[in-house]
């Protein structure tokens, strides 16, 4: 019986934490007087790193930059991370767990922290859209295999 329990799959969140956060307003205060609507560019990324045997750090990062013409209004860079214990899972399932399940747990924390820091900077909050991590993972897998990317819609 003890041998069976030792091999049962384990998936546990050890910790979710804010790894890095910065807000820059390089052209303030003059840019704040502009009446023109800024453009918003949002870049997202996911990284998975082993920390120890069966322990992984998953980091979801976001860069949000708003500009008026070629001048930055604000730039936010954030990394939200989680430490997960993952043991006794089939190897073919690990990629999906690390690339889909873990980022889905970490991402809502990132969304909240990004919206909060932007609002604390004196701007209306920018709410990051919901992300289909499964579609993102499948697109990355297709690109890694040299196949054309599937169309991702959100």
E strand intervals along 36-104? 39-52, 55-68, 71-87
Per-residue pLDDT of the chain (154 residues; tens, 9 = 90+): 455 555 899 999 999 999 999 999 999 999 989 889 999 999 999 999 999 999 999 999 999 999 999 999 999 999 999 999 999 999 899 999 999 999 999 999 999 999 999 999 999 888 899 999 998 888 888 888 876 555 544 4
pLDDT at 146: 79
CATH number at residue 16: 3.10.420.10
The domain tally of the chain equals: 1
Report angle CA 57, 44, 144 to the nearest 5 degrees: 75
Q: Does any domain span residue 149?
A: no
pLDDT at 7: 85
pLDDT at 153: 45
Domain that holds residue 59: 9-144
Residues 80 and 108 sit within 8 Å (Cβ to Cβ): no
Helices (H), 1-154: 2-7, 91-96, 102-120, 133-144
Q: Does any domain span residue 154?
A: no
């Amino acid at each position: 019986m003890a041998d069976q329990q030792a091999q049962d799959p384990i998936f546990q969140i050890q910790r979710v934490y804010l790894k890095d956060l910065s807000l820059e307003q390089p052209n303030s205060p003059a840019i704040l007087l502009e009446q023109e609507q800024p453009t918003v560019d949002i870049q997202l990324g996911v990284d998975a790193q082993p920390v120890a045997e069966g322990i992984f750090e998953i980091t979801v990062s976001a860069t949000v930059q708003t500009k008026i013409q070629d001048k930055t209004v604000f730039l936010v860079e954030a990394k939200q991370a989680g430490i997960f214990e993952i043991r006794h899972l089939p190897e073919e399932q690990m990629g999906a767990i690390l690339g889909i399940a873990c980022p889905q747990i970490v991402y809502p924390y990132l969304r909240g922290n990004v919206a909060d820091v932007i609002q604390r900077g004196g701007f209306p909050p920018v709410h990051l859209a919901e992300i289909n991590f499964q579609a993102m993972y499948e697109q990355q897998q297709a690109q890694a295999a040299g196949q054309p990317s599937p169309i991702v819609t959100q």
